[in-house]
Chains A and B, each alone.
Chain A
């Protein structure tokens, strides 16, 4: 399995608090992604990174920010968490984009906003 570690694995917090999720990879892959998975919506892309300090928005980026200061770490921040952000969050990595470049996923972080 690809070396991807997400932390924390579970978190419960209150509305209005800041939350940061971490994704750490040991594969030295250029691309890193954050997705959320919700019943009825499947997996949707939040943000992605194509290099250190290079990030871009995905389909559902509102309310989220990201940072990548090192190749191996990609952080997802909810500045002021809302109940609608309760979800399972997955990090993925890929060596590149285009034909033949697979994405590999971490085990996810289950986040509950009360």
Chain B
């Protein structure tokens, strides 16, 4: 059974700092890895999708990498802003989609 782990569970940083969120998974036979953002009381917003054949994807200040052989992905956020405060979820898709528990990010002004 695929297990997805996100570390740390919570992170607090000052505005402007660059930061890395981590995601690990136990079974490397995946189609995609997707990063989402979830604001309190809201749904999930898709940030980036990395196909299993890809190494990274970028969107604005966000960069996600995938090392399928080691079962790891990172989400890099450059020059963090208070508006980036949210919970970030990673999910891996094979037969179905399995989610990590998320990292709750707080960016302090």
Contact = CB atoms under 8 A, between A and B. Distances in A.
B interface bracket (residues with beta carbon within 8 Å of A):
20 to 34
Nearest to A33: B97
A101 B32 contact: yes
Contacts, number: 54
Given A43-B89, A97-B31, A97-B93, A102 B99 contact: no
Interface stretch (B20-28, B43-51, B73-81): B43-51
A106 B100 contact: no
Interface string A78-114: 0000000000001010000111111111111000000
Interface of A: 1, 33, 40, 42-45, 48, 58-59, 90, 92, 97-108
Given A97-B31, A102-B32, A103-B97, A42 B49 contact: no
A100 B49 contact: yes
Contacts of B46: 102-105
Chain A binding site: helix, strand, loop or mixed by DSSP? loop
Interface of B: 31-32, 34, 36, 42-46, 49, 51-53, 89, 91, 93, 96-97, 99-102
A43 B34 CA distance: 14
Contacts of A43: 44, 89, 91, 99
A45 B97 contact: yes
Nearest to B30: A99
B32 A107 contact: no
A104 B91 CA distance: 12
Given A99-B31, A102-B32, A103-B34, A45 B42 contact: no
Contact of B96 (A58, A98, A100): A58
A83 to B, nearest CB: 21
